[in-house]
Amino acid sequence: MCELLAMSANVPTDIVFSFTGLAERGGITGPHVDGWGITFYEGKGSRTFKDACPSSQSEIASLIKRYPIKAEVVVSHIRQANRGAVCLVNTHPFSRELWGRNWTFAHNGQLTDYEDKLTPLRFTPVGNTDSELAFCWLLDSLVDKFGYQAPPEIRAVFDYIATLANELRALGVFNMLLSDGDYLLSFCSNNLCFITRKAPFGEARLVDTDVVIDFNKETTPNDVVSVIATRPLTDNEHWQTLASGQWCLFRRGECCHISEVVT
């Protein structure tokens, strides 16, 4: 279907290593050739690079692989289309502003019989994927519940988003990444895992291409970085697998909440 990748870090950190592994799955080691995208949060600002061509062939992906953009949160996606044509407008991540924050969303999975259930008023898909419609419905539901003024405690919003994501999971497969640039929510339907790297750092070796990194040389002792992915990107580290319905909230590199396993 698709593959997801995200990062949360306590200091601006580049994702060149992990993205290099993911991009291989867009045409070389994986069949996800229908576009790719990546969003970087630098402070409250964000920028998204996307392309409707395979990540393994994209000029822009090449730039992202060699030019280390340092960010606190990153959300990325490579696409194997099921709903919606292969074109820029259907390429993840999707973004919308709410409460003076840029929200970024990427989805892996497929929903069925959703059109009548997801009818947002204030946010409207530009393309025609089930993913973007689900994102618009999520944000619309936030306005229904909290109004147009940001709630004083944004943490509680993510608990509510997780309940909404669980409703979407009932409509099909719904692995999701969602961030406001501060928090990063990872919701698992059937395929999502993560790793938190902190001192003492070691070496990591990509599964998909012959690249090894020694994080000792790239980090300081206080750095904490979590990486979330559909499938582990390295083969010499322990990735924690989420169960169906389970979700994790990351902030400044740390997992600050992990829900119970739902069976």
Nearest Cα to Cα of residue 104 among 150, 46, 191, 167: 46
Show the site string, 126-165: x = touches its own copies by CB under 8 A, - = not: xx--------------------x-----------------
The strands making up 224-229's β-sheet, listed across from edge to edge, are: 45-51, 36-42, 71-79, 2-13, 224-229, 193-198, 240-241
Show the site string, 90-109: x = touches its own copies by CB under 8 A, - = not: xx----xxxxxxx-------
CA angle 140/141/144 to nearest 5° reads 90
Q: How far is the CB of 57 from its own copies (least distance, A)?
A: 13
Please enumerate, as own/partner, the contacts of 156-160 that have beta carbons within 8 Å and a separation of 24 or more: 158/183, 158/185, 158/249, 158/257
Q: Does 261 bind its own copies (CB under 8 A)?
A: no
Which of 31, 112, 117, 121 is in the footprint of its own copies by CB under 8 A?
121
Active centre residues (catalytic): 2
Which of 1, 10, 11, 42 is in the footprint of its own copies by CB under 8 A?
42
Coil/strand/helix, residue 219: coil
Of 31 and 45, nearer to its own copies (C-beta) is 45
Q: Does 84 bind its own copies (CB under 8 A)?
A: no
Of 49 and 114, nearer to its own copies (C-beta) is 49
Tell me the C-alpha distance between 94 and 106, whole Å: 7
Residues in region 171-200 near its own copies by CB under 8 A: none
Nearest Cα to Cα of residue 136 among 184, 168, 108: 168
Lookup: tokens for 181: 């640039």
Judged by CB under 8 A, the stretch of 16-24, 40-48, 185-193, 231-239 that binds its own copies is 40-48
Q: How far is the CB of 171 from its own copies (least distance, A)?
A: 21
- Paired with 102 in beta bridges are 97
Nearest Cα to Cα of residue 65 among 206, 180, 186: 206
Q: How far is the CB of 121 from its own copies (least distance, A)?
A: 5
Residues near its own copies, by CB under 8 A: 42-50, 52, 59-60, 63, 67, 87-91, 96-102, 121-127, 148
